[in-house]
């Protein structure tokens, strides 16, 4: 049960005005849930045909590999180019659907796992491992820096997804022979992971918009990174679900630093708080 809904309905017993507000809140929550369920169902149904498309495209790319001089006819070269394009686009579509599913999951279509202590050393090592191929393909060096032994609270897979999205972006929006620095830090009552790159940067008028779903800055749009525009929306949701936030500081042409900030202590049990308040 949504805690806000419960709270307002409890208050609504005493007055009509609050009851109407409570009904509105409940209805808008219901509609939001219907919308999330719809996106989750559609995305799920799309996964199978897209997977089939990806496999067929891969087979087509292999089949159009020139076997020798005779195979290098104009038609054959064009066929291979088209097959590669189909493969690229179906991979991108697959990512889009996967990220849409991820986002709806984070928005509450599925229950969140109970919070657990998560080692930031593990998160960072996992992310470095996951992004190794992309980094070497773009000749970007990922350097790990800062404090060791820090702990956050929440879901290890979600936190790894969030940091991986930041590191993938840092790699994608950087030039060759640059460095991406991943730094773990502990502040008063928070732990942080900062991801700093020496890449293209973000214009001041776009910085506020990049966390919106599907928003891609102009310079990114013209780059063929295969991005979906959902990565940072996912990071923002994960940060929010963990009681934290994500910030960015960036200079156009001078690189960007994204910082994921998380509470250093476990979250209060919401149910316990509600029941101790008699709600």
**Residue ranges in contact with ligand ADP by CB under 6 A:** 165, 169-170, 173, 197, 199-202, 210, 215-217, 220, 227-233, 256
Nearer to ligand ADP, 61 or 162 (CB): 162
* Cα–Cα distance for residue pair 245/217, rounded to 1 Å: 21
Taking the complex as a whole, the smallest distance from the CB of residue 244 to ligand ADP amounts, in Å, to 18
Nearer to ligand ADP, 153 or 258 (CB): 258
Taking the complex as a whole, the smallest distance from the CB of residue 143 to ligand ADP amounts, in Å, to 15
Nearer to ligand ADP, 22 or 167 (CB): 167
HSE-CB at 256 with a 13 A cutoff on CA atoms is: 26
C-alpha dihedral (266, 110, 156, 269), degrees to nearest 10 = 10
Taking the complex as a whole, the smallest distance from the CB of residue 217 to ligand ADP amounts, in Å, to 3
Nearer to ligand ADP, 57 or 217 (CB): 217
* Cα–Cα distance for residue pair 266/230, rounded to 1 Å: 28
* Cα–Cα distance for residue pair 112/187, rounded to 1 Å: 27
Taking the complex as a whole, the smallest distance from the CB of residue 39 to ligand ADP amounts, in Å, to 17
Q: Is the dihedral of CA 196, 169, 241, 119 positive or negative?
A: negative
């Amino acid at each position: 049960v949504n805690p806000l809904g419960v709270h307002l309905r409890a208050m609504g017993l005493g007055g009509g005005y609050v009851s109407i507000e409570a009904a509105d809140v409940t209805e808008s929550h219901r509609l939001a849930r219907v919308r999330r369920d719809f996106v989750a169902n559609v995305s799920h149904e799309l996964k199978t045909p897209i997977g089939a498309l990806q496999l067929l495209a891969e087979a087509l790319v292999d089949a159009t590999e020139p076997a020798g001089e005779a195979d290098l006819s104009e038609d054959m070269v064009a066929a291979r180019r088209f097959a590669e394009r189909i493969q690229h686009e179906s991979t991108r579509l697959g990512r889009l659907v996967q990220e849409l599913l991820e986002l709806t999951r984070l928005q509450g279509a599925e229950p969140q796992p109970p919070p657990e202590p998560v080692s930031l050393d593990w998160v960072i090592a996992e992310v470095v491992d996951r992004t190794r191929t992309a980094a070497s393909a773009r000749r970007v060096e990922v350097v790990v820096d800062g404090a060791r032994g820090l702990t956050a609270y929440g879901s290890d897979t979600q936190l790894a997804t969030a940091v991986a999205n930041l590191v993938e972006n840092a790699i994608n929006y950087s030039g060759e022979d640059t460095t991406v620095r991943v730094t773990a830090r502990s502040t008063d009552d928070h732990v942080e992971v900062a991801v700093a790159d020496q890449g293209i940067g973000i214009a001041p008028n776009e910085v506020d918009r990049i966390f919106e779903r599907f928003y891609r800055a102009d310079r990114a749009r013209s780059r063929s990174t295969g991005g979906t525009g959902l990565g940072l929306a996912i990071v923002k949701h994960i940060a929010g679900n963990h009681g934290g936030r994500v910030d960015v500081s960036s200079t156009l042409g001078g690189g960007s630093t994204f910082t994921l900030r998380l509470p250093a202590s476990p979250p209060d049990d919401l149910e316990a708080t509600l029941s101790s308040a008699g709600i």
